[in-house]
Amino acid sequence: MKFGYLSVLLAAALCSGTANAEVNISGFASVVGGKVLSGDGVPEFGLGPTFLANYPIVGVYEKDWTFKPDSKYGLQFSADLSEGLTATAQLVGRGADDYDPAFEWAYLSYELNDHWTLQAGKKRLPLYYYSDFFDVSYAYLWIRPAADNYTWQIFNYTGINALFNYQLGEWAVSGNLYTGREDDGKNKLLSDYFFRSPVREIWENIVGGVVSFNRDWLDLRLTYMTYENRRFIDGQPRIWASTGTDTRRGKFMGFSANIDYNNWVLLSELNRLQLDNDNLDTYMVSGGYRIGSWTPFIAYADFDATGEVHNTTSVGVRWDFHSSAAFKLQYDSVNDKGYDGGQVAGDSKALTFGVDLVF
Amino acid sequence: MNKFSGFLLAAVLSMGAQAEIALIVHPSNNAELDADYIQKIYTGKLASFPDGESVVAYNFEESNPLRQQFDEKVLHRQTQQIQALWAKLVFTGKGTPPTVAADPAEVMKAVAADAAAIGYVDASLVDASVKVVAKF
């Protein structure tokens, strides 16, 4: 991967003098197609056979072939402003949004010392293991991280992030502490899928942290985040039954253990969101075995809350046919056991395949 | 039988074709770097020498046979796995990958000129302008 070898020397005439900054451009892309082979949909919602592959952006496969739900591209611009200061912006366009490019990331990064880096701006919320590189499908095994786990409507935030990195004997200990907010004027998942009216979703007073312990073939990660939620449906504030006010607090916690030993890959995560006196539990286990450039895999992911209960069993293969590109083929079988209106998209079986690359 | 001996011969030859890799630093650099430390630098877990000085690491393009050999022998991973790892670090703002050099001569030149540099080349190319800290 030639991260940043498309370097261009940007001579920016700023204010009085001329500032020179080297801007590195790197990127990623996925072209993925697929269709629902069979499915029940949710008749009471008037929903036909549907595989909801990506909740936050409403990436939906139906009976006809489509290349939209999982296809995307990203361009990252990183300007080294010297003396430890870097400016980074990431432009992402997704098929589910008709490839409209938007700046998903835009932040300044300042290296305080060898152990700490401060960042300020817009970033992805590092909730789950794959949350902050969810779009960079080349970096993980499957076509997408388990849809049943990555269901949250908010995935970016604007705020401050402190990254750290230490060595503790054989262990590399790294992580970050962050705080910020996100005010999504028209939230796609809530507006288009769940409420079918314009929903403004606010997560504020977000405070969270991640710590990872990494040693040779073992990778352990702990994550915690708390936030306050306000929601406006058709401009009207939602009053939460659990609090009697327009504000409710959510607490998210998770643990992940990954093993990459010889040719075996074992991936897992276990997460809980406490919200409205309910526990929204998710977990995922996946295994793969590397045979040369081929890695066949299986995965099982589960979501369990009051009313909303679903899981997905997946089987597939990743083929690293090129040093910066991988072909993937995946079969997903979704079992939607939701009740009392808690169904999401019904049972479905879907086939998807495509190519992920980085440059 | 013929096919089999041909296969064996090819296997032996390809083993013989594996270059010895020399990990090199600037002659003034007295850091002691073991395989584990080098692994951490080239997988984005460390960005400094044991004395705290920042590292400027050099690498080769992923299609380069020496790079693939380095990834396998020193990092104990396939080049694609290293690529995937850096993809994660780069696009989450958690790391900057080593600078990619066009050829070993460029690495020799860069390491000879910079006290913070680290790189690797075919051991047969090493001269007094650089210091070898480890061989693989």
* Nearest-by-Cβ selection for B87 from A124, A132, A138: A138
Of the two residues A23 and A1, the one the predictor is more confident about is: A23
Using an 8 Å CB-CB cutoff, list chain B residues near A26: 90-91
Residue A20's pLDDT is: 62
Cα end-to-end span (Å), chain B: 34
- Taking only residues 96 to 115 of chain B, the set having a beta carbon closer than 8 angstroms to any beta carbon of chain A reads 97, 100
* Nearest-by-Cβ selection for A323 from B45, B54, B63: B63
What is the crossing angle of helices B79-91 and B65-73, to 10°? 90
Nearest to B45 by CA among B77, B1, B80, B89: B89
Q: What is the pLDDT of residues A173-218, one digit of tens each?
A: 999 999 999 999 999 999 988 899 999 999 999 999 999 999 989 9
Residue A55's pLDDT is: 93
- Taking only residues 15 to 74 of chain A, the set having a beta carbon closer than 8 angstroms to any beta carbon of chain B reads 26, 28, 74
Q: What is the pLDDT of residues A2-29, one digit of tens each?
A: 444 344 433 333 333 345 678 999 999 9
How large is the average pLDDT for residues A120-141?
96
Residue B17's pLDDT is: 61
Question: Do B45 and A173 contact (CB within 8 A), yes or no?
Answer: no
Q: Does B40 touch chain A (CB under 8 A)?
A: yes
Instruction: Record the tokens describing residue B71, joined without a space.
Output: 């990834």
Minimal-distance CA residue of chain A relative to B65: A323
| DSSP at A129 | T
Residue A14's pLDDT is: 35
Instruction: Record the tokens describing residue A29, joined without a space.
Output: 């892309």
* Nearest-by-Cβ selection for B80 from A76, A126, A293: A293
Element (H, E) at B107: helix B104-113
| DSSP at A193 | I
Using an 8 Å CB-CB cutoff, list chain A residues near B47: 114, 165
User: Are A132 and B92 in contact (CB < 8 Å)?
Assistant: yes
User: Are A140 and B84 in contact (CB < 8 Å)?
Assistant: yes
Whether A281 shows a pLDDT value over 90: the answer reads yes
Q: Does B92 touch chain A (CB under 8 A)?
A: yes
Distance from CA of B129 to the nearest CA of A (A): 27
Residue B54's pLDDT is: 87
Q: Does B70 touch chain A (CB under 8 A)?
A: no
Q: Does A258 touch chain B (CB under 8 A)?
A: no
Q: Does A158 touch chain B (CB under 8 A)?
A: no
Q: What is the pLDDT of residues A146-156, one digit of tens each?
A: 999 999 999 99
CA distance A324 to A1: 6
CA distance A350 to A274: 31
Q: Best mutation site among A112, A324, A355 for testing chain B: the one with the most B CBs within 10 Å?
A: A324
Whether A244 shows a pLDDT value over 70: the answer reads yes
Q: Best mutation site among B51, B64, B91, B96 for testing chain A: the one with the most A CBs within 10 Å?
A: B91
Query: 3-state SS string over A43-103?
Result: HHHCECCCEEEECCCCEEECCCCECCCCCEEEEEEEEECCCCEEEEEEEEEEHHHCCCCEE
Please give the biggest Cα pair distance in chain A. 65
Distance from CA of A153 to the nearest CA of B (A): 20
Question: Do A147 and A53 contact (CB within 8 A), yes or no?
Answer: yes
Minimal-distance CA residue of chain A relative to B64: A323
Residue B51's pLDDT is: 87
* Nearest-by-Cβ selection for A172 from B45, B52, B92: B45
Q: Does A134 touch chain B (CB under 8 A)?
A: no
Distance from CA of A245 to the nearest CA of B (A): 36
Minimal-distance CA residue of chain B relative to A106: B93
How large is the average pLDDT for residues A155-169?
94
Residue A15's pLDDT is: 36
Q: Best mutation site among B90, B96, B100 for testing chain A: the one with the most A CBs within 10 Å?
A: B90
Residue A114's pLDDT is: 85
Q: How confident is the model at residue A82 (pLDDT cuts 50, 70, 90)?
A: confident
The residue to which tokens 């979703």 are assigned: A201
Backbone angles phi, psi at A265, to 5 degrees: -125, 125
Cα B4 → chain centroid? 34
How large is the average pLDDT for residues A98-110?
94
Question: What ipTM does the predicted assembly reach?
Answer: 0.89
Three-state DSSP state, A6 = coil
CA angle, B57 then B95 then B53, to 5°: 50
User: Are B86 and A138 in contact (CB < 8 Å)?
Assistant: no
Distance from CA of B56 to the nearest CA of A (A): 13
Percent of chain A with pLDDT over 90: 87
Nearest to A117 by CA among B49, B43, B97, B93: B93
CA distance B73 to B69: 6
Residue B87's pLDDT is: 96
Residue type, A78: S
Using an 8 Å CB-CB cutoff, list chain A residues near B62: 1, 323-324
Average pLDDT of the residues of chain A = 92
Q: What is the DSSP string of A241-301?
A: TTTSSS-EEEEEEEEEEEEEETTEEEEEEEEEEEETTEEEEEEEEEEEE-BTTEEEEEEEE
| Ranges of chain B with pLDDT below 50 | 1-16
How large is the average pLDDT for residues A251-261?
97
CA distance B86 to B105: 25
